[in-house]
Structure 1
């Protein structure tokens, strides 16, 4: 992975530590445990964050591991979506955010960030790597092959039935029904949508002309709120197709994507392969680790519809207790133990040792 670092930005004000009702952060899946970076039991108080629903299971798993080692700490995470998480973090309502994309450099320059001390850099850590599954619901069919143009035409509304010749040509021997296609997209501002549309724009530019955006750019289709909403909508229909973090694909049919001359199904290994083949964005602070996914790679075994979801915080907080809690939580999330626990719970791809070294250095800078 190509690593580049420079630039800084300004930010102002302080973090508001508030509790969020109805958050299931303390009901995490089993499989995580304490880590040396957060096992001293010194962390205490309320740590409030929110954002990406894609990494909700991951945050719950990390929360369980940190709270087992720090009985005095309560972590609340509101999985309201990436856009809401970034906005609330910037306003100072959250001490940290989860987001399926990093802040853009112009957003950083515009500031300010109410969660950070004046003059602080951002800490943006790619701690959750997961394929975005293209899921569908067709009786009797568990998997299909699609190439970028055909997938883009489906979500653009240009291909409207499952037995369309373009789909049939890629799935020899599969008896495709004449069922109408209902394409389901996110209704909220979503990092998953931004990653999915980024793939369509880069890989099928002759069909998909809308640039990457967290807000679905087209009319038509069916809209659903959050990852759970998309999955429910696809499960509840016949002939439906949608996109969601692969951890939530369940028993739905899934699509293998054409990469080079092969069709690649999603998997943690295939997601890791495309991340390893992708460069890091330039023009960012040393603590701001943003990866630019190569959506058009032809690397064997790489699955290009992948999201890299970030934990976002401040390099410097005005409240030392908040800083310590964020630092402890991020440390466990990035640890080998934390990454393995989430891989078991959500099917994500653990970050590489090389990336962990850089992430750890960024966490060490938090104060």
Structure 2
């Protein structure tokens, strides 16, 4: 990255932090915003001027990254604006497939029925389904004086299935020698809304925990009891407000809560952008997808050293053809920024995500370039 780009990325990061400090109800209403109530920022882009507004919705896991991407894009394209509602993956997919928004964010790939609906919505040109946000999902907990625990996939599964119910259970103690575990009830916290984070987490449990998790992967939480909350932020807040609580959330939201290292092969591995990128790098592409759908089939059962298998790949959904050429140009420009080196770096700094590889970026950009 050149010195000029580093300086601009730092400026965009400051702007994104300012946005997040204002809350997400109206992330475009801040006075400094390009095209907003204050003086517009100089247009640093030397191509044709882009005007108009894009509406997006979906993944709450993407919220921090999306704020940074919007700030960065509008810093370049002062006459354009982008709005994103972090309503959750299920809501984002529904709105996109009904034609209510120009792009969506989904923490799970579209299923066959949804692909059929996308084909109807997007027409002959079809769908763009692009892996632009890669982030670990953290298993979070709230126990006084304990910031980290080691757990096998089977133990994680039995905790969330309410089969292991107390923190000093011998199954937990066996992998945490020297940790003073309290005689305290475990209270699992799950998502109340249909969620790609839930689907990815339950897919990990179904693949890696064997018979300890008797449910199929799903965006709807399958276990009754415990507590539930809306969105990643809601789960984090509920875990924070409780005692003996445990939940799962995008790692960017984990904050000061305790987190779990999960067993991979012979080692216990904690979440990190590097470990998340490593699992994506060794995982194959899902076969049988339509052209423009770049879906990764994550190897949740890997024993590869240094990989963290509880990973969320959040896909950006767009049509490959729009009725309005100006709208298509705006979608193409925004997604190019998100996929580009600067956009991925800003996301990594803001949300702790793993930047996509150069090879994956080339595939993604080829699809974006074809949007018309």
Tell me the TM-score normalized by structure 1: 0.89
> Partner of 2:82 in structure 1?
75
CA distances 1:233-277 after superposition (whole Å, capped 9, x unpaired)? 000011000000000111000000000000000000000010011
> Partner of 2:15 in structure 1?
none
Q: What is the DSSP-based 3-state SS (H/G/I as helix, E as strand, rest coil) of the residue aligned with 1:275? A: helix
Considering Cα pairs closer than 8 Å and 6+ residues apart, tell me whether 1 or 2 has the greater RCO: 1
Query: How far off is 1:46 after superposition?
Result: 1.2
* 1:150 to 2:147 alignment: no
* 1:87 to 2:94 alignment: yes
Query: How far off is 1:23 after superposition?
Result: 3.3
Tell me the C-alpha RMSD between the 2 structures: 2.1
> Partner of 2:221 in structure 1?
216
> Partner of 2:180 in structure 1?
175
Does the Cα contact within 8 Å between 2:43 and 2:75 map onto a contact in 1? no
Aligned residue pairs: how many?
342
- State how 1:57-68 maps to structure 2 within 5 Å: 57-68=64-75
* 1:97 to 2:100 alignment: no
> Partner of 2:54 in structure 1?
47
> Partner of 1:184 in structure 2?
189
Does the Cα contact within 8 Å between 1:26 and 1:75 map onto a contact in 2? no
Query: How far off is 1:109 after superposition?
Result: 2.5
* 1:24 to 2:31 alignment: no
- State how 1:291-310 maps to structure 2 within 5 Å: 291-310=296-315
Measured in 2, the distance between the counterparts of 1:59 and 1:98 equals: 10
Measured in 1, the distance between the counterparts of 2:215 and 2:239 equals: 24
For structure 1, the residue ranges without an aligned partner over 5 or more in a row are 1-20
Query: How far off is 1:111 after superposition?
Result: 4.5
For structure 2, the residue ranges without an aligned partner over 5 or more in a row are 1-23, 34-40
Structure with more helix by fraction: 2
Q: What is the DSSP-based 3-state SS (H/G/I as helix, E as strand, rest coil) of the residue aligned with 1:206? A: helix
> Partner of 1:5 in structure 2?
none
> Partner of 1:361 in structure 2?
366
Does the Cα contact within 8 Å between 1:265 and 1:303 map onto a contact in 2? yes
Query: How far off is 1:135 after superposition?
Result: 0.5
Query: How far off is 1:193 after superposition?
Result: 0.3
Measured in 2, the distance between the counterparts of 1:40 and 1:66 equals: 14
Describe the shift of the 1:337–1:197 C-alpha distance in structure 2 as closer, same or farther (beyond 3 A).
Answer: same
> Partner of 1:137 in structure 2?
142
CA distances 1:269-319 after superposition (whole Å, capped 9, x unpaired)? 000010011111111233110111110000000000000001110111111
> Partner of 1:273 in structure 2?
278
Q: What is the DSSP-based 3-state SS (H/G/I as helix, E as strand, rest coil) of the residue aligned with 2:105? A: strand
Measured in 2, the distance between the counterparts of 1:41 and 1:227 equals: 38
Query: How far off is 1:24 after superposition?
Result: 1.9
